[in-house]
Amino acid sequence: MSAESLLRIELFGSPGSRQIERQALILPAGTTVAEALRQAGWLDQPGRVAAIWGRPVEPDHPLREGDRIEWLRALSVDPKEARRQRYRGHSRPR
């Protein structure tokens, strides 16, 4: 296989709060997001959404050289509600 027919991509995922995993893969051209996740052993994690550079994509989305796949966990709390909870009870300075 020639170097032109290979893609270098990175996978980033968060198995838990404040944890980040990273894998670099070299895959054949034409590989999809789902195939890359399967190759990395990450596809068996339910409740996740795949994104490339922060934009959600379908599992059959074809990859390009240099793509960064992000394997995102579902939110456990709405970010606006979490902010309200953090600052509830704090008095405002005058």
- Dump pLDDT digits (tens) for 22-43: 999 999 999 999 999 999 999 8
The side-by-side arrangement of strands in the sheet containing 68-73 is: 21-28, 6-13, 68-73, 48-52, 55-56
The pLDDT of 46-57, averaged and rounded, is 92
Distance CA(21)–CA(62), nearest Å, equals 22
- Supply the pLDDT for residue 60: 96
Q: What would the two tokens of residue 12 be?
A: 């980033």
- Supply the pLDDT for residue 81: 87
Helix (H, G, I), strand (E, B) or coil at 82: helix
Distance CA(50)–CA(59), nearest Å, equals 7
Which stretches does DSSP call E strand in 18-67?
21-28, 48-52, 55-56
How do the domains of the chain map onto residue ranges?
3-87
Residue 92: pLDDT above 70? no
pTM of the model: 0.75
- Given a contact cutoff of 8 angstroms between Cβ atoms, the answer to whether 27 and 7 are in contact is yes
- Under CATH, to which class is 3-87 assigned? alpha beta
- Tell me the pLDDT band of 16, cut-offs 50, 70 and 90: confident
